[in-house]
């Protein structure tokens, strides 16, 4: 009887031992998940219409001795840009109100421009060159067609809002059928809403 009891106890111990000792198979290895790679910065899409305002300073010279001046200017701007990936091209127009006194009888009253621009995207910004047609209006010798060229930088600070700065050289020859040439360098900051 003792042999049967010992044999039974040994059999039960053999069966129960894995339950007491735990699973004899190795624990499963959890897979190692690599952290996601940082996302590349996405520059904003510049395609679309924009409109806004600009404010700045004009330094105006003429080909007449002592006939020059400088003063504040400001106005409106609007246009359309097309995003080509790393580059942006666009067309636009702007109008500047002015009251730049050049002599007791000659003031620059306004300037407006039809412009083309082309630039390279830098993060959330756009560095560009611009140029095109310009017109100046004076109080006494009339208005004249001309040209302008320059450069600027615009930065998208929100999804639909940009701020920037622009420097332009405006050139007008024989204003109002006179022998007076007017050159104006303008320095302006601008803010636009994009839609």
pLDDT in tens, 38-55: 765 678 999 999 999 999
Considering its fold, how many domains does the chain have in total?
Answer: 1
Which residues span the domain enclosing 59?
Answer: 48-194
Quick one: how far is CA 98 from the chain centroid? 27
Which tokens hold the place of 140? 């006494």
CATH number at residue 180: 2.40.160.20
Residue 5 has pLDDT above 70, yes or no: no
Alpha-carbon span 160 to 114, nearest angstrom = 23
The answer to whether residue 143 sits within a structural domain is: yes
pTM: 0.78
The answer to whether residue 20 sits within a structural domain is: no
The answer to whether residue 42 sits within a structural domain is: no
- Residue 77 makes CB contacts below 8 A (sequence gap 6+) with 50, 51, 52, 53, 54, 92, 93, 94, 95, 190, 192
pLDDT digits (tens, 9 = 90+) for 108-129: 999 999 999 999 999 999 999 9
Cα atoms in the 13 Å half-sphere on the side-chain side of 187: 4
Mean of pLDDT values over 83-88: 96
């Amino acid at each position: 009887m003792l042999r049967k009891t010992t044999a039974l106890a040994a059999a039960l111990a053999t069966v129960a031992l894995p339950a007491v000792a735990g699973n004899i198979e190795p624990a499963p290895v959890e897979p190692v998940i690599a952290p996601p790679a940082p996302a590349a910065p996405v520059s904003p899409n510049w395609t679309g219409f924009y409109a806004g305002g600009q404010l700045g300073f004009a330094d105006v010279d003429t080909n007449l001795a002592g006939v020059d001046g400088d003063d504040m200017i400001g106005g409106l701007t609007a246009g359309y840009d097309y995003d080509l990936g790393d580059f942006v091209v666009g067309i636009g127009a702007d109008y500047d109100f002015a009251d730049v006194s050049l002599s007791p009888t000659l003031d620059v009253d306004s300037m407006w421009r039809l412009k083309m621009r082309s630039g390279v995207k830098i993060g959330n910004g756009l560095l560009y060159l611009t140029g095109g047609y310009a017109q100046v209006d004076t109080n006494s010798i009339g208005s004249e067609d001309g040209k302008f060229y320059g450069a600027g930088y615009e930065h998208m600070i929100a999804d639909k809002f940009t701020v920037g700065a622009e420097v332009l050289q405006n050139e007008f020859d024989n204003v109002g059928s006179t022998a007076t040439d007017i050159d104006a360098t303008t320095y302006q900051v601008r803010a636009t809403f994009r839609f």
